[in-house]
Amino acid sequence: MDANNPILLMAGTQEHDLTRLDEYRAVGGYKALERARALEPQAVMDEISAATLRGRGGAGFPMGRKASLLAKGTGKPTYLVINADESEPGAFKDRDVLRMTPHRLIEGCLITAHGIGSESVFIYIRGEYAHEFDVMRDALEDARTAGLLGGVTIVLHRGAGAYICGEETALLESLEGQRGQPRPRPPFPPVNGLYGAPTQINNVSTIALVPKIIELGAAEFSKIGVPSAPGTAVFSLSGNVAEPGNYERPLGTPLRELIYDVAGGIAGGRELKAVIPGGSSVPVLTPAEIDTQMDYDSIQAAGSFFGSAAIIVVDDRCCMVQLALRAEQFYMHESCGKCTPCRVGTRWLVQLLTKIEEGRGDRSDLDLLEGVCDRMLGKSLCALGDFAVYPVASYLEKYRGEFEAHVDGHGCPFGGASSIEGTFAPIDQHAPNLAETVHA
Amino acid sequence: MPDLVSLTVDDRVVQVPSNTGLVEAALAAGVEIPVFCYEPRLGAPIGACRMCLVEIEGIPKLQAGCTLTAIEGMVVRTAATSAKAADGQESTLEFILVNHPLDCPVCDKGGECPLQDLTFRYGPGRTRMTFPKVTFDKPIPVSPLIALDRERCILCYRCTRFSEEVAEDGLLIARNRGARSEIATFEDEPYRSVFSGNVIELCPVGALTSSMYRFDARPWEIQNVPTVCTGCATGCNVTATIREGKVKRILSRNHAEIDRGWLCDKGRFTYPHLLARDRITAPLQRGPKGLKEVSWDEALDAAEEMLREAEGAIVTALSGSETTEIAYALGRLLRGGVGVHSAVLPEATSDALEAFRLPLSAIAEAELIVVVGDDPVVERAPIVDLWLKEARRRGAEVVACSPTGTVQVAPGGSAALCQGISAAGNELGQRLRNADRAVLVWSGPGGGGGARIAELAHELGF
């Protein structure tokens, strides 16, 4: 392992076809499982806790602490659920884990299942990840045939295309066959999760790191990354960088290094205008803020979130109003409709942003835009309500001049250009005619 | 006695049993936490409408009060004492009203509408929304009895939760998502249910209205008269809405031990028979030329004369669907006033039952329920079926012994079945004897059913 650039999640994927069980075993695969099963379950969880493995799904909650909240003695089974519903615009890290090293995820599932005493694991895969599902299914079949499951049942469940099902409680509802909408919390999943039973939910990349923790030991693992967040993350760099793609780097790598050294800088030699560091839902950072380190606490101190480590780089051709509108169209389309602020607010924001982008707005519309954001923020049932606000509110705050230019000049100074089209699904999916009657 | 916890709501300290919902706990402190989607009879709270946002000391974000339970030492601030909570409430109302058509002048709910009331008390005075609202085709007849106006709907999911979690028919659903979310019937089939009308009353806006009452009256020109449904022997408490001396609709009137505020469609929608043209509305006296209309005075005089002449040789028959009060008054008149000593009731009850009789709500608390009799409960006494469903949801076992039940009994075989159950060695009988909370339900035509059940209960040592 290269001490300067340790690769954990994607280790061996360059040299080997790790979708094959024999090749995964050739690089030491399933040895960690063997070692873990020889340990008491609590010893396994202690190791994970000692490694301070923080959730790679977005919130960064330590996995060990989450597991310690699992209700004991309920008379119900304990479930392990893997969130593979990667749907955040800009995020594609889990996809590579699923399709390139599926056995690492399976091994992580089996080690965790041993640690928390679970016999049932559910992997909820984003519906659009058809190829990844096939890879996982074949890998699971191989692992089963090889007798590696050891009495644990792993269920692969395909989602049906809803962003909201990446929210953990909506995911549970969807798994149970209900409408994919979030549940109120409390009760939290470790107490009352899938089918009312204690449930551990973790992201693909979190669980796929577990074998490495067992293999290296918590002490060695903790040397990578930063003390508050050891280990690596796969950063998905997209937008206007010269070499977009997935790059595994230690947590704490500066944003500037990721953009300029790792991803080759801004494409076409243009100027950097904005960076969205954790997927489309997190507050934007300006070029002045890119010396921030990419780890949970540092990025939060800078006023944004680590999110799904999906770094969207925006160059100077892009209109920030257009970008806000595009993001909001996505969130309007994906709002589940359960709670009032998100259901109504996203549509209202799209209407306001359309008006401003088309040059029909005035300064009072900017105040209203800010007001609607304030009214949505912190009032929804789940985090999506806030996610839908952060892009608009932060672009307005940091690029207010551009918004003002739209209303003062009665039009878009950029001619409606968006330099990062492609980060979201095609626009026709997300932009219905809002004045049209919905027919029965 | 459950443990008491002490909490503070808007600076008022109140003690409530632990696990009391925060909305109820606040009420105990004399504070209203306004709600739309919260309705404890519909199962677990869903926290969807966000009307109940409150500030809890120690939690940075506003919380949906309806989803929380009272905890020792909790400090709660509602809109009355927290600017943050007030902003939350006003935000929710502003968002709800963004797409609401505000067609209150022509809405049946106008004047008795929770959305109107809460907007009046907590809402913003003016709108900031200048764009086209979401518009839907309307009204949608979800059944011949109920019209759905999707534009008025605020998506509180009370109706779908009733269908899913109380009536358990799964016929009302929410579909699509985001701003295009809408209430619909499953596969667009008509909402055919024994209990469909309850969703009209559950709806906190005018989205679900009664086709029969639609555009028929305004709330300020009606009187609501408390009465009791005579549709079956259950005796659900109801309110009759009267306009110009005519019954215009029937509403539920929550009696916690009988109906819990639910009504069956038979009880709710069959009132037009009161206005039937061939209904007899004046006394008729039989004479040489057939029936002749007479005044009430004449009729009562004639009746008194005949009753006195009979000198006690009278048999009186009651229909069995009178209220207790009417039956008592009749009994007093006949026994005391005219000296009658015998009475026949077609729905034979039995004095022996008095030793075992429980309120219907006891069914919900039971662990084992055995239903005996030829008729399905849902046909005989529909509301009892809802109590059985609730018991089953709470984990009770319901054993229906009937021609269509879980234990197959040939029509007319209930008497033999009861004897069988009480016989030594009968497995069901043994389980009934061992159960802490067992309930027997008779569901069949009259003729000694009550006495039989009483006998069985006695045999089983209830």
CA atoms within 13 A on the CB side of A60: 20
Residue A38: its pLDDT value, please? 97
Contact B64 A334 (CB under 8 A): no
Contact B180 A437 (CB under 8 A): no
The residue in chain A having the minimum alpha-carbon distance to the alpha carbon of residue B132 is A435
Burial of B365 (0-12, 13-18, 19+ CB in 10 A): middle
- Among residues A266, A296, A315, the one where a domain terminates is A315
Contact B98 A348 (CB under 8 A): yes
In a domain, A417, yes or no: yes
3-state secondary structure of A160: coil
Same domain, A170 and A25: yes
- CA–CA min distance A338, chain B (Å): 6
- CA–CA min distance B212, chain A (Å): 22
Same domain, A240 and A212: no
- CA–CA separation, A110 and A300 (whole Å): 32
Q: Which of A225, A223, A233 is nearest to A97 (CA)?
A: A233
Chain B residues lying within 8 Å of A184, measured CB to CB: 45-47, 64, 67
3-state secondary structure of A224: coil
- Top residue of A87, A360, A438, A439 to mutate, by most chain B CBs within 10 Å, is A438
For the record, the structure tokens of A383 come out as 């985090």
Whole-angstrom CA distances from B250 to A14, B41, B151, B271 are 73, 20, 26, 7
Query: Would an 8 Å CB–CB cutoff place B152 in contact with chain A?
Result: no
Residue B340: its pLDDT value, please? 64
ipTM: 0.93
Residue B341: its pLDDT value, please? 60
Angle at B293 between CA B288 and CA B296, to 5 degrees: 120
- CA–CA min distance A17, chain B (Å): 40
Contact B131 A434 (CB under 8 A): yes
Residue B353: its pLDDT value, please? 73
pLDDT lower than 50: segments of chain A: none
- Domain extent, residue A92, equals 21-223
Q: By 3-state DSSP, what share of chain B in percent is helix, strand and coil, each rounded to 5?
A: 35, 20, 45
Same domain, A311 and A325: no
Q: Which CATH number fits domain B351-459: 1.10.3470, 3.10.450, 3.40.50, 3.40.1010?
A: 3.40.1010
Q: Which of A335, A340, A438 lies closest to B95 in CB terms?
A: A340
Which one is predicted more confidently, B277 or A275?
A275
Q: Which residues contact A17 (CB under 8 A, 6 or more apart)?
A: A23
- Among residues A270, A291, A315, the one where a domain terminates is A315
Contact A174, A84 (CB under 8 A): no
- CA–CA min distance A398, chain B (Å): 24
Contact B98, B124 (CB under 8 A): no
- Top residue of A76, A164, A344 to mutate, by most chain B CBs within 10 Å, is A344
Same domain, A343 and A242: no
- CA–CA separation, A153 and A150 (whole Å): 9
Residue A405: its pLDDT value, please? 97
pLDDT tens for each residue of B83-128: 999 999 999 999 999 999 999 999 999 999 999 999 999 988 888 9
The residue in chain A having the minimum alpha-carbon distance to the alpha carbon of residue B127 is A368
Which one is predicted more confidently, B308 or A172?
A172
Residue B460: its pLDDT value, please? 86
Query: Would an 8 Å CB–CB cutoff place B416 in contact with chain A?
Result: no
Q: What is the mean pLDDT of chain B?
A: 91
Q: Is the peptide bond before A186 cis (omega within 30 degrees of 0)?
A: yes
Q: Could you tell me where the beta strands, DSSP code E, fall in A291-381?
A: 310-315
The per-residue b/e assignment along B310-326, b for 16 or more CB within 10 angstroms, e otherwise, is: eeeeeebebeebbeeee
- CA–CA min distance A375, chain B (Å): 5
Q: Which CATH number fits domain B219-275: 3.40.718.10, 2.20.25.90, 1.10.760.10, 3.30.1360.120?
A: 2.20.25.90
Pairing of strands B208-210, B237-243: unpaired
Bridge partners, B293 (sequence order): B284
- Among residues A175, A200, A223, the one where a domain terminates is A223
- CA–CA min distance A180, chain B (Å): 10
Residue B284: its pLDDT value, please? 94
- CA–CA separation, A37 and A22 (whole Å): 20
Q: Which of A348, A371, A440 lies closest to B140 in CB terms?
A: A440
Same domain, A105 and A188: yes
pLDDT tens for each residue of B198-256: 999 999 999 999 999 999 999 999 999 999 998 888 899 999 999 999 999 999 999 99
In a domain, A341, yes or no: yes
Angle at B22 between CA B4 and CA B17, to 5 degrees: 15
Same domain, A44 and A104: yes
pLDDT tens for each residue of B404-439: 888 999 988 888 898 899 888 899 999 999 999 999
Give the count of beta carbons closer than 10 Å to the beta carbon of residue B101. 17
Give the count of beta carbons closer than 10 Å to the beta carbon of residue B108. 22
- Top residue of A185, A379, A384 to mutate, by most chain B CBs within 10 Å, is A379
Residues of A near B (CB-CB distance < 8 A)? 162, 164, 179, 183-184, 186, 332-341, 343-348, 351-352, 355, 368, 371-372, 375-376, 378-381, 432, 434-440
- CA–CA min distance A162, chain B (Å): 10
Q: Which of B67, B135, B181 lies closest to A343 in CB terms?
A: B181
In a domain, A12, yes or no: no
Give the CATH number for residue A385: 1.20.1440.230
Determine the CATH number of domain B4-95: 3.10.20.740
Residue B339: its pLDDT value, please? 67
pLDDT tens for each residue of B337-388: 766 666 555 555 566 777 777 899 999 999 999 999 988 999 999 999 999 9
User: What pTM does this model have?
Assistant: 0.93
How many domains is chain A partitioned into structurally? 3
Residue B319: its pLDDT value, please? 67
The residue in chain B having the minimum alpha-carbon distance to the alpha carbon of residue A438 is B136
Give the CATH number for residue A257: 3.10.20.600
Residue A5: its pLDDT value, please? 86
Give the count of beta carbons closer than 10 Å to the beta carbon of residue A208. 28
Query: Would an 8 Å CB–CB cutoff place B395 in contact with chain A?
Result: no
Chain A residues lying within 8 Å of B50, measured CB to CB: 339-341, 379-381
Query: Would an 8 Å CB–CB cutoff place B265 in contact with chain A?
Result: no
The structural domains of chain B, with segments of one domain joined by +, span 4-95, 100-210, 219-275, 287-338, 351-459
Using the predicted structure, report yes or no on whether residue B67 has a pLDDT greater than 60: yes
Contact A437 B47 (CB under 8 A): no
- CA–CA min distance A181, chain B (Å): 10
- CA–CA min distance A64, chain B (Å): 23
Same domain, A189 and A218: yes
Sheet containing strand A232-239, edge to edge, reads: A245-250, A232-239, A310-315, A272-276
3-state secondary structure of B317: strand
Contact B174 A337 (CB under 8 A): yes
Between the two ends of chain A, the Cα-to-Cα distance in Å is: 61
- CA torsion, ordered B185, B189, B192, B198, to nearest 10 deg: 20
Q: Could you tell me where the beta strands, DSSP code E, fall in B284-336?
A: 284-287, 290-293, 315-317
Query: Would an 8 Å CB–CB cutoff place B239 in contact with chain A?
Result: no
Between the two ends of chain B, the Cα-to-Cα distance in Å is: 25
Contact B177 A376 (CB under 8 A): no
Query: Would an 8 Å CB–CB cutoff place B62 in contact with chain A?
Result: yes
Q: Same fold for the domain at B4-95 and the one at B219-275?
A: no
The residue in chain A having the minimum alpha-carbon distance to the alpha carbon of residue B90 is A375
Same domain, A116 and A58: yes
Chain B residues lying within 8 Å of A435, measured CB to CB: 132
* Sign (positive or negative) of CA dihedral A214, A218, A221, A225: positive
The residue in chain A having the minimum alpha-carbon distance to the alpha carbon of residue B87 is A375
Residue B347: its pLDDT value, please? 52
CB pairs under 8 A between A and B: 115
Using the predicted structure, report yes or no on whether residue B445 has a pLDDT greater than 80: no
Give the CATH number for residue A156: 3.40.50.11540
Q: Which of B45, B95, B178 lies closest to A184 in CB terms?
A: B45
Same domain, A274 and A388: no
Q: Which of B91, B95, B177 lies closest to A335 in CB terms?
A: B177
The residue in chain A having the minimum alpha-carbon distance to the alpha carbon of residue B88 is A379
- CA–CA min distance A160, chain B (Å): 13
Q: Which residues contact B433 (CB under 8 A, 6 or more apart)?
A: B460, B461
Determine the CATH number of domain B100-210: 3.30.70.20
- CA–CA separation, A155 and A152 (whole Å): 10
Same domain, A270 and A376: no
